[in-house]
Each structure stands twice: as C-alpha cells, then as structure tokens.
Chain A
Amino acid sequence: MSSTRIPELLEFEEPVGVLLKEIEALSMLPQTADRQRSIDTLRRRADEIRAELYASLTPWQRVLVARHSSRPNTLDYVERLFTGFDELHGDRRFADDHAIVCGFADYKGQPVCLVGHQKGGDTKQKIFRNFGYARPEGYRKALRIMQLAHKFGRPIVVFIDTPAAYPGIESEERGVAEAIAYNLREMVMLDVPIVVIVCGEGGSGGALGLAIGDRVLMQEFAVYSVIPPEGCAAILWRDANRKVEAAEALKITAPDLLQLGLIDEIVPEPAGGAHNDHALACSLVDQALERTLVALAGVPAEARLTERYEKFRRMGREGQAFVDMQSQMPSSSARHPENPVAGGPTGDGGPAA
C-alpha cells in the first residue's frame, strides 16, 4: 500500500477508492505540514478499510481477487524466489505452449524443476500467453520436463493459475483431455517431491492437469473449482449473472477446500491481497515452500509415493462425502437379481476399505 503503483481497484474496494481519490487530490495541492498529516490519516484509514474488507471477502470477491490482473504470476514468483531460471520449451510433439512455463532453477542453492501456468500482465502478454488457457502441448511439455526432474532426482514446484484448459477446436483435435488424463496418471508416479501452489485461479481440469503433488498449498485468496462460477450459473440456472450465488455454492475458497481435505495448507496473503504487495506475498510463499520442501526431503521415496496415492485416495471420504447404506449389514456386495449363484457364502467381513 505504501508502493507508488496503485493496482486497479476491484468493485468491492469502492470505499478505499474514495479515500485514495481524496489523497490524490490533496497531494496535488502545495504541501504543508497540516496537509501531510491529513494525507497520512487518510492513508491509514484506507489501509484499515482495506484490511477490514479483505478480512471478510465473499467467495465471489475472492474470485475477483484471484483473477486480478496485477496478481503476482508464475514468472513473478520465479523471479523473486528462484535464481538462474532456464526456461525449457516445447513438447517435442507439436509446439511450445506459452500458457505453461517450465524450466530448471535454483531454490536456496538446490536445483529444482519449475512448472506453472502463465497468464501474462499487459494485453500483449495476455495474448501471447493465451490468457493462461493451456493447450495440449502445454500439458505434454510439463510432463516431459517433470520426467526430467524424476530422472535426475530433483524436486518439482508447480504454480497453478489458469481459468481452464483452452476450449477450442485445435485443443480438442490434439486431445487436450488425453493430455490432462495422462498427466494425472503419470504425476502420481514421479519419484521426486512435488509441491503444488495454487496461486490464482485453479480452473478445473486445466488446473488439475498439473496439480498432482505430495503437498498442495493454496494462497489465501486463490480459488480452485470444478467449473467457473459463471459457467455453473449458466448451466444450473440458465443465467450467468447468478455467478455470485454459484461461487458461494461451489465451495471454491481456500478455507472451504482445507476443510474438505482437498488442500494441505493455506498460504497467507498481504491484507489487500497478493496484488497489493508482491514482495510480501512472495516472501509468504517462500516461507511455506521452504518449510514444505524440507519436510518432504525427510520422507523416504517409497513412503512419499504411497502417501501421495493415499492423499488423493482419501478425497471424498466415507462418512463425510458419502455413506455405505449397508455398512451395518454383513456385506456391501449384492448379487445381481439375474444371478443364479446368489446366496453364496459372501456374508463375511464388513465393507473393507
């Protein structure tokens, strides 16, 4: 907030906007001690209001924060947290996808593999990055580089920030579904620590296609959803304007997902959101990342892979997400009515896991 560059204000930040305008008007006038004092008071007031607003963001407001165009993106984190980044390009099959960046870099003196969606800041960059909508090549490139990490025993750090996988003709022609599916299957088997950080929009399959890891961290105001709220509203209510309700219903915020057991940890953000203070946001991510990598380094490879499997295996748990209606009965297997062999001695044991 003390920075000179003021990020674009979101609609719910209107109260802050009013104060900022006042401050701007005052600073145009000749400076006096008195005026400076009132500017300072206004600044403090603005910070307070902002902190208050961000302490109780609705799910939809979080979506807006997560999509903020000044929000630090993958390359911002790479620049601040890593050294000697060498970007690697191409899937060796068809093309290089600019919506996903991959490469090698040093983290605290250790080589790591970096993978992340890249949205792009200004208009030109956004177009170059296809607004973070990755095509099949992106997912295939990412897996290729991650398999190098597997080969050389280097940890993998993944940044997730995409609206979705690109929904276009060429995406379908080249099998974006297969590319994502294959990543889901193969990332489970990569024999190196994988830390996933959801740092913006976790847009359904397009996000998940890179998001299989030993630990999934999520920034405080990031979102992670099976469908964008607009799309959900359009399908369920045939009215995209009910996105606010949809955002609420879908439970896409970090606290919700932590409670559902789908993420492991929430990485706090600066009071006005990560876009308001890149340096602080990055250092908060840095702390969480370092701690997580150190913890993972202590786990033997075999146990780590089993735990990774179990972690996803537990998502949607009996008793929480679903129930076995026959759990009191001797067996959860049922003979099909057509089946003449019914009544066999299957009545042993309960519903084994």
Chain B
Amino acid sequence: MSWFKKIRKPIESAQKESRVPEGLWVKCPSCSQILYNKDLTASLSVCTKCSHHFRLSANERLRTLFDGEWEEHDSSLQSLDPLQFTDTKPYAQRLASTMAATGVSDAVITATGRINGREVVVAAMEYAFIGGSMGVVVGEKITRAIERALDRSLPVIIVSCSGGARMMEGTLSLMQMAKISAALARLDRARLPYISVLTDPTTGGVTASFAMLGDVNIAEPKALIGFAGPRVIEQTIRQQLPEGFQRSEFLLEHGMLDMVVERRDLKDVITRVLRFGSRTDERPSVPAEAAAAAPVTTS
C-alpha cells in the first residue's frame, strides 16, 4: 500500500572530512582525469592523459625555460593608477589586493638567464594578475627588457598570456602596444632574434602588438589566440563560431604561427631557433664590451 508513497532517502555522503589534503590532486578541466599534483609538476603542468596544457604562472614559466637561475629586472615597478579609475572597486585597491595575492607587482616578469647555455632576455606574463592585462607597468617592463637586450645584443623571448590591454589604464594601456612595438622595431633592425611564445589565452592588444611580431611565432597547443574575443565576434556576426576557431591549430592553418609546440619540447625548439638566429659574424662579441661599458644595464 505504501509502495508508491515510500520516500526514498537519497544516499547521504558520509560527511567525513576528506583525508586527502587540499591540492594533492588536480582534476583536468579537459578530460576530467584526476591527476596527482606531483606528476603534474613533473610533466610541466601538462595532463598526462590528454595533454591538456594547464596555465603556468610567470615564475613557473621561467622555471621551465631557464637552465636554473635567472636575474629578475624591474620587479619593483608599480602602477600609480594614472586615471584614478574605479569600477566595482577602486583600481588602486584591486592592484594592492592582486599584488598581495600573486606576489608580483604587475602582470609580467622580465628576467635574464640562460637557455641551454645561451643568454636570453625573457618576459613571461602572469595571467593571475588582472587577466594578464597590459598596462603601463607591463609596457614599461617589456620595453626595458627589449632595450636591455639591445644594449647587450641578446635575443628576446616574450611568453604571452593575456586578455589584452588593461581597461583601468585607458588609452595609456593602448599606447603600450605602440611603445613595445617601437622597441621591437629597433631589435629587428639590430638583427637580434625575437621569439614570441603564445599561450592560452593571448588576445586583444597583446596579440595586435608584440605577440604577433616574433621572428618566429610559437604557440602551445589549443591556446586561445585572437584579436577580438569570441563573444564580441558572435555578437557582431550573430552566428555560432566554428569549432576550433581562434585556437593555435586554427592560426597555424591560417598562416599566423610558425609552429605549435608541446610544452615539453618548447625549450629545445627555442634553443634551435636561437641557434639559427645567432650570427657569429660581424656582430662584436658584445658581452665583454657592453659589460665593461655599462655595468648598470641590468638595473
């Protein structure tokens, strides 16, 4: 009689505290595989099952590229909130809390170090810092990094990971595109190599400036790379975007990238490109000369 009225109690969870400490396991957002965090670190944050490339912090990125040690530059530059901008909270506050949370002063780390023995200036962007957005500090640090490379005749590598220009610094952010590109023009004319590494995501003003200007443009697999965001495009054309649109492989197919390279191969590929790009003739053996002339170049 009570067959149909019988109320099934859902199976309750044991409500027991998990004995697995937080952060020991990571779920892959692509294939849902549960990954042991140590394995993940060993695989350079690439899923061991589906080879999904997890986003790296700027420091992690530098660790995967450099031989072991590096010298960071301009780490103490901070934005002064030139527009006194306020959205849902004051930008100055947002900056302070982001600095506290990420431990970096803005969305890029610039450093000099060695990649398989070759001295290189690297700028790695930090997505955790307001979406890796480019404001005056990012513009200044990258420009200084390029100028430092020019002074010392070193190659430049910029690892992009950014949503584009930073709205909270308005037109000043926009102009950083011009500033960095101008420095890259000088680097180009000085015949120094510039490798652009595009990682997920690289969009907006970053794509429309230094990220697309590499002598060699290298992307990690399946990274979102584009100028306008997918949502903006969908609104403009009122159509669904095709599968794989604005992913690395799409850009490779359309001739915007030189290669799509898995993270574990990236360092070796970069090494070979740098080898091609290092002219042994006619360029003076700079380190000795420049170091003697300007010991302050690292500051």
Contact = CB atoms under 8 A, between A and B. Distances in A.
Contacts of A185: 181-182, 184-185, 188, 213
B72 A349 contact: no
B233 A335 contact: no
Contacts of A186: 185
A303 to B, nearest CB: 16
A322 B80 contact: yes
B69 interface: yes
Interface in A324-353: 324-327, 331-336, 338-341, 346, 348-352
A334 B171 CA distance: 30
B86 interface: yes
A262 B172 contact: yes
B228 to A, nearest CB: 3
Contacts of A315: 139, 172, 175-176, 178-179
Given A173-B254, A226-B167, A335-B72, A316 B237 contact: no
A281 to B, nearest CB: 23
A321 B136 contact: yes
B299 A350 contact: yes
B299 A352 contact: yes
Contacts of B178: 184, 188, 208, 211-212, 312, 315
A316 B245 contact: no
B174 interface: yes
A350 B111 CA distance: 18
A298 interface: no
Contacts of B256: 175, 177-178
Interface stretch (A17-25, A30-38, A109-117, A246-254): A246-254
A211 B297 CA distance: 31
Interface string A262-300: 100000000000000000000000000000000000000
Contacts of B69: 336, 338-341
Given A323-B80, A324-B74, A260 B226 contact: no
B137 A322 contact: yes
B164 to A, nearest CB: 9
Interface in A303-324: 308-309, 312-313, 315-316, 318-324
A237 B87 contact: yes
Max chain A Cβ within 10 angstroms of own Cβ: one of B62, B207, B227:
B227
B72 to A, nearest CB: 5
Nearest to B143: A313
A316 B175 CA distance: 8
B129 interface: no
B185 A188 contact: yes
Contacts of A231: 232
Nearest to B188: A185
Interface in A20-74: none
B14 to A, nearest CB: 39
Contacts of B135: 316
What class of interface size applies to chain B in its complex with A?
35 or more
Given A249-B87, A322-B136, A336 B80 contact: no
B179 A336 contact: no
Contacts of B73: 332-333
B176 A188 contact: no
A319 B136 CA distance: 12
Interface stretch (A1-9, A151-159, A164-172): A164-172
Given A237-B88, A316-B172, A316-B175, A336 B70 contact: yes
B80 A321 contact: yes
B79 A321 contact: yes
A176 B118 CA distance: 34
A257 interface: yes
A227 interface: yes
Contact of A209 (B111, B204, B208): B208
Interface in B65-79: 68-79
A175 B233 contact: no
B269 to A, nearest CB: 21
Contacts of B78: 322-325
Contacts of B204: 205
B295 interface: yes
B209 to A, nearest CB: 5
B85 interface: yes
Contact of B71 (A166, A173, A204, A333): A333
Interface string B127-151: 0000000011101100100000000
Max chain A Cβ within 10 angstroms of own Cβ: one of B78, B79, B80, B188:
B80
B174 A205 contact: yes
Contacts of A322: 77-80, 82, 136-137, 140
B227 A165 contact: yes
A223 to B, nearest CB: 9
Given A174-B254, A319-B80, 17 more contacts: A167-B236, A172-B246, A178-B256, A181-B208, A182-B212, A184-B182, A185-B184, A225-B171, A235-B167, A237-B87, A260-B82, A309-B186, A315-B178, A316-B172, A324-B78, A336-B70, A352-B299
Q: Give me the 9 closest cross-chain CB pairs, A-B, nearest first.
A: A316-B136, A167-B228, A184-B181, A349-B296, A177-B227, A236-B87, A326-B76, A177-B207, A315-B175
